[in-house]
């Protein structure tokens, strides 16, 4: 059955395109990709090479092949007839070259010999048999330039010569030869489905231009362009490296407590005894361990939430805040006068704490508040105005005087850093206060004082645990500790202040948690690394109460689970 009728259709230009080149450079696959839309995976392609010739008879017997031969290029209807040939140099191809309109001369981009033969064998042969026929040079198997050659060689037929990296030809080599021969150059990959249309559309253009010279009366060829330049190939993304992250080195068991000796990335300063004692701490630990601290650090100071205060705080116009400052200063003074302090023992503050006997201590009623006539001047008096924001706290919670934001010299880096500064009641002693801050679930030191301050600051878990110890019922503390960790782990997720940018997204975390659980993180956030100095800036995340800063360091996404688990394990640690 002969279904080929294109030769009789008016204004349809039938174009005979002969494809030549060395053995196994990819001629047949290229033809099949155009004529039959055949696409194969790299491994299907590699596993099979039978020296073949695609039969030109297909146009006569296969309707689909005939239909795919039809095309419109530069407004000219064409029917493209592809002729496959043997790559064997000694075979006679004159029957193929006869009456050809264009020759597609192929070489393999993974076979330098095949390019050499373009110059030495194929070009002279074509010029010999069809001197006026335009030629297009095509570098095939472009995907091999970007492939893992070891994997490719393993997948090739056992007797096939392995492809070496030095075999791979850069684009310049093809361009040089094409320039020398005065012919257009294209590259193709059947695997990547790249360049097939470029090759044949421009082969058609070359053929039509040449025809227009001979058949100048054909007006429908007027708009045919010269072969166009090929747009460059966008190589596939290299496979993601497999990054094995070993377990972090064990910390020496100190956990978060070690941060008190070395308060890296501290973000809160407690002023005790009117500022004569200073205790640096980390908001995340305190806020996740105790609701009172959580509330404190999420207080709204003049429209800004504590944890997310950044540079905009410094820039806040004085005029805007001036009036409020004045008010808050006045309020603070008034509050200072009637500051409530803990009146534990009439003999004196310190003695009072020590002088408590056990039953007294354990009785809620023993911890009374009273008007303190000689309370130390409130921190509010000398700090609230400094940043233009701040708040007197005497009515808010026992033991707290004021809170504000100030630039404070970082205890580790000695560089000024915006910190939350909390002035505490004069009766709060440094040592028991540190116990409360550092080991909220453990009881150390003078239990009486710890209990007193725990109650004052509403650290009820610890208050209860001390009571259990004093009542010789420590076994009950296990349950309290468990519940404490669950609550803390849940809350930690709300209190993240550093963002790791990963390949596939962002992972929020918290510097102190990372520092205390991993030496690498401690090293990264310490000293002269950029990460240590990054200011906590971000006004766009005000919904995160305890701060959210940006860390420019990129981490591979395989770190996601690592960081995630570190974060959670830190959350669970004491
Ligand atoms: N990776 C890759 N391999 C290709 C590509 N095109 C062809 N091949 C492989 O190269 C080998 C030769 O392909 P053919 O199309 O049969 O080569 P040919 O030039 O027609 O070979 P002869 O018929 O011997 O002249 C086969 O194993 C194909 O699978 C390509 O774009 N990428």
The predicted pLDDT at position 98 comes to 94
Q: Output the pLDDT for position 555.
A: 38
25 CB within 6 A, ligand 1? yes
User: Tell me, what's the pLDDT at 445?
Assistant: 60
Residue 317's pLDDT is: 34
Q: Note the pLDDT of residue 243.
A: 73
Distance 50 CA to ligand 1 centre (A): 9
User: Is there a contact between 64 and 39 (Cβ–Cβ < 8 Å)?
Assistant: no
Ligand 1: which residue has its CA nearest to atom 32? 141
Mean of pLDDT over the chain? 73
Atom of ligand 1 at shortest distance to CA of 152? 1
Distance (Å, whole) CA 190 – CA 19: 15
Q: Which of 32, 49, 142, 188 to mutate to test the pocket of ligand 1 (most atoms within 8 A of CB)?
A: 49
Q: How far apart are CA 421 and CA 402, in angstroms?
A: 8
Determine whether the shortest distance from the Cβ of 108 to ligand 1 is under 6 A.
no
Paired strand residues for 423: 271, 402
Atom number, ligand 1, closest to the C-alpha of residue 144: 1
How far apart are the C-alpha atoms of 566 and 515, rounded to whole Å? 10
Nearest-atom index, ligand 1, CA of 21: 19
Output the residue whose Cα is nearest ligand 1's atom 29. Answer: 45
DSSP one-letter code for 267: -
Reported as type and span, the H/E element at residue 555 is strand 549-555
Ligand 1 centre distance from Cα of residue 216 (Å): 39
Q: Which amino acid residue places its CA nearest to atom 12 of ligand 1?
A: 24
Contact criterion met (CB below 8 Å) for 17 and 211: no
Please name the residue whose Cα sits nearest to atom 8 of ligand 1: 26
Report CA(24)–ligand 1 centroid distance (Å): 5
Q: What is the pLDDT of residue 367?
A: 30
DSSP state of 399: T
Q: Which residue has the tokens 């708009």?
A: 223
The ranges of the chain with pLDDT < 50 are 1, 303-388, 440-441, 443, 535-562, 565-574
* Residue bearing the CA closest to ligand 1, atom 4: 141
What pLDDT, on the 0 to 100 scale, is given for residue 5?
59
Look at residue 491 in the predicted model and tell me its pLDDT.
73
Give the pLDDT of residue 359. 33
Helices 460-470, 447-456: crossing angle, 10 deg rounding: 150
Q: Convert the pLDDT of each residue in 514-553 to its tens digit.
A: 776 677 777 776 656 666 655 442 333 333 333 333 333 3
């Amino acid at each position: 059955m002969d279904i080929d009728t294109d030769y009789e259709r008016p204004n349809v230009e039938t174009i005979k395109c002969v494809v030549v080149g060395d053995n196994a450079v990819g001629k047949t696959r290229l033809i099949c990709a155009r004529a039959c839309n055949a696409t194969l995976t790299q491994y299907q392609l590699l596993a099979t090479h039978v020296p073949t010739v695609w039969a030109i008879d297909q146009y006569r017997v296969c309707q689909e092949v005939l239909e795919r031969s039809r095309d419109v290029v530069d407004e000219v209807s064409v029917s493209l007839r592809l002729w496959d040939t043997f790559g064997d140099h000694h075979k006679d191809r004159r029957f193929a070259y006869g009456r050809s309109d264009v020759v597609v001369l192929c070489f393999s981009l993974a076979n330098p010999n095949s390019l050499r033969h373009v110059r030495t064998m194929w070009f002279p042969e074509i010029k010999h048999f069809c001197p006026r026929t335009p030629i297009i040079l095509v570098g095939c198997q472009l995907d091999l330039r970007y492939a893992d050659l070891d994997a490719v060689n393993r997948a090739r037929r056992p007797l096939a010569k392995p492809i070496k990296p030095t075999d791979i030809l850069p684009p310049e080599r093809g361009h040089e030869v094409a320039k020398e021969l005065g012919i257009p150059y294209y590259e193709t990959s059947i695997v990547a489905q790249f360049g097939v249309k470029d090759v044949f559309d421009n082969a058609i253009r070359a053929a039509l231009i040449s025809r227009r010279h001979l058949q100048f009366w054909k007006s429908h060829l007027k708009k045919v362009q010269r072969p166009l330049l090929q747009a460059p190939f966008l190589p596939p993304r290299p496979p993601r490296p497999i990054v094995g992250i070993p377990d972090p080195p064990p910390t020496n068991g100190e956990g978060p407590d070690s941060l008190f000796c070395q308060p890296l990335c501290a973000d809160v300063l407690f002023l005790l005894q009117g500022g004569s004692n200073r205790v640096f701490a980390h908001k995340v630990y305190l806020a996740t361990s105790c609701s009172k601290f959580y509330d404190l650090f999420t207080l709204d100071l003049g429209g800004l939430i504590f944890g997310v205060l950044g540079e905009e705080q410094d820039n806040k116009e004085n005029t805007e805040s001036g009036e409020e400052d004045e008010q808050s200063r006045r309020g603070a003074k008034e509050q200072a006068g009637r500051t409530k302090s803990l009146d534990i023992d009439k003999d004196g503050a310190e003695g009072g704490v020590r002088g408590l006997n056990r039953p007294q201590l354990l009785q809620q009623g023993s911890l009374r508040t009273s008007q303190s006539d000689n309370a130390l001047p409130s921190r509010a008096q000398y700090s609230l105005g400094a940043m233009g924001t701040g708040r007197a706290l005497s009515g808010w919670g026992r033991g707290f005087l004021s809170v504000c934001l100030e630039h404070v010299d970082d205890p580790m880096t000695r560089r000024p850093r915006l910190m939350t500064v909390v002035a505490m009641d004069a009766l709060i002693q440094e040592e028991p206060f540190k116990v409360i801050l550092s080991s909220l679930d453990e009881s150390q030191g003078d239990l009486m004082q710890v209990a007193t301050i725990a109650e004052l600051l509403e650290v009820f878990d610890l208050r209860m645990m001390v009571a259990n110890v004093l009542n010789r019922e420590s076994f009950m503390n296990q349950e309290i500790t468990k519940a404490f960790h669950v609550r803390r782990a849940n809350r930690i997720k709300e209190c993240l202040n550093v963002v790791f940018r990963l390949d596939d997204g962002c992972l929020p975390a918290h510097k102190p948690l990372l520092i205390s659980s991993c030496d690498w993180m401690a090293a990264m956030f310490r000293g002269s690394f950029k990460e240590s100095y990054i200011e906590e800036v971000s006004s766009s995340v005000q919904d995160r109460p305890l701060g959210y800063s940006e860390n420019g360091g990129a981490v591979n996404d395989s770190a996601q689970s690592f960081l995630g688990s570190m974060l959670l394990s830190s959350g669970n640690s004491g």
